Amino acid sequence: MPRFPFALASLLQLGSLSAVAASPVQPAAADIFVETAFRLGVPRDYASASGLHHVREPQQLALIGGRDALGYAQRLIPQAARAWARMREAAAREGVELRAVSTFRSVEAQLAIVRAKLARGQTIDAILRVNAAPGYSEHHSGRAIDIGTSGYAPTEEEFERSPAFAWLKRNAAAYGFDLSYPRGNPHALAYEPWHWYWRGDDAESTLPLTELAASNDSPAPTNLFTRSR
Ligand SMILES: [Zn+2]
């Protein structure tokens, strides 16, 4: 595989993503955004108090098609993108629609969400109840995906009543995806039936990357990032 997947070339054509940088940044730069969040009031003991780990941004991302509510192209690390495509197609063959609601999110974008909520008058405590602190979201890894389906509000608990969730519970593990925040999780984090994390290894699939981009053309939901762990 080339050093950079086709996705990078595609991203270079997307000139409109300047409001918040969505591309992976150098680790030192991401750390500046983490530090900024602490200065904005994120408790210094956030990691130990929340049970969340510091997450690094990946070096490579692949487009999976579609955009999220902030207008960013949906991206995962290439291996997870392949696994997602296989899983989505397998579900579709059984008549179940899986839709990518949110995928990679940079530390800088997470900081922008926190800043926007602070500007609207929310307290940092209220924000951190539903948003991971910048630097601590699994979405920074390019391995996490919020999954939705038609007829159910995205990133809402009602997703657990959908045929898509029932299918994922039976089949997602076979594609390397695990539910990160089940009910009663040891971190006492809110239940998120829509948030799945790819734990597979790099040899999961042989589907060429060029086949991935057209596979998720659904429109972006509008109420995204009310929750963004
Ligand atoms: Zn999520």
pLDDT digit string, tens, across residues 1-59: 333 333 333 333 332 222 233 455 566 788 999 999 999 999 999 999 888 899 999 98
User: How many whole angstroms from 196 Cα to the centroid of ligand 1?
Assistant: 7
User: How many whole angstroms from 200 Cα to the centroid of ligand 1?
Assistant: 18
pLDDT of 229 above 80 = no
Q: At which residue do the structure tokens 């999110």 appear? A: 105
Look at 121 and 221; give whichever has higher pLDDT: 121
User: How many whole angstroms from 197 Cα to the centroid of ligand 1?
Assistant: 9
User: How many whole angstroms from 122 Cα to the centroid of ligand 1?
Assistant: 21
pLDDT digit string, tens, across residues 125-182: 999 988 999 999 999 999 999 999 999 999 999 999 999 999 999 999 999 999 999 9
Segments making up each domain of the chain, as ranges: 25-212
User: How many whole angstroms from 3 Cα to the centroid of ligand 1?
Assistant: 28
pTM of the model: 0.77
Helix axis angle, 163-171 to 78-93, nearest 10°: 120
Tell which residue, 156, 219, 169, has the closest CA to residue 196. 169
Q: Which residues contact 139 (CB under 8 A, 6 or more apart)?
A: 102, 103, 104, 105, 110, 132, 146, 228
CATH of 25-212, one of 3.30.500.10, 3.30.1380.10, 1.10.940.10, 3.40.50.300: 3.30.1380.10
pLDDT digit string, tens, across residues 65-95: 999 877 889 999 999 999 999 999 999 999 9
H or E element: which one contains 75?
strand 73-76
User: How many whole angstroms from 13 Cα to the centroid of ligand 1?
Assistant: 27
User: How many whole angstroms from 8 Cα to the centroid of ligand 1?
Assistant: 23
User: How many whole angstroms from 145 Cα to the centroid of ligand 1?
Assistant: 6
DSSP 77-113: -HHHHHHHHHHHHHHHHTT---EEEE----HHHHHHH
Confirm if 24 and 75 have CB atoms less than 8 A apart.
no
Q: How confident is the model at residue 99 (pLDDT cuts 50, 70, 90)?
A: very high
Q: Which residues contact 53 (CB under 8 A, 6 or more apart)?
A: 47, 136
Look up residue 216 and give its two tokens.
């998720």
User: How many whole angstroms from 138 Cα to the centroid of ligand 1?
Assistant: 7
User: How many whole angstroms from 178 Cα to the centroid of ligand 1?
Assistant: 12
User: How many whole angstroms from 184 Cα to the centroid of ligand 1?
Assistant: 17
User: How many whole angstroms from 59 Cα to the centroid of ligand 1?
Assistant: 20
Buried b (16+ CB within 10 A) or exposed e, 80-96: bbbbbbbbbeebeeeeb
CA 144 to CA 199: how far, in whole Å? 9
Average pLDDT over residues 172-201: 89
Q: How confident is the model at residue 208 (pLDDT cuts 50, 70, 90)?
A: very low
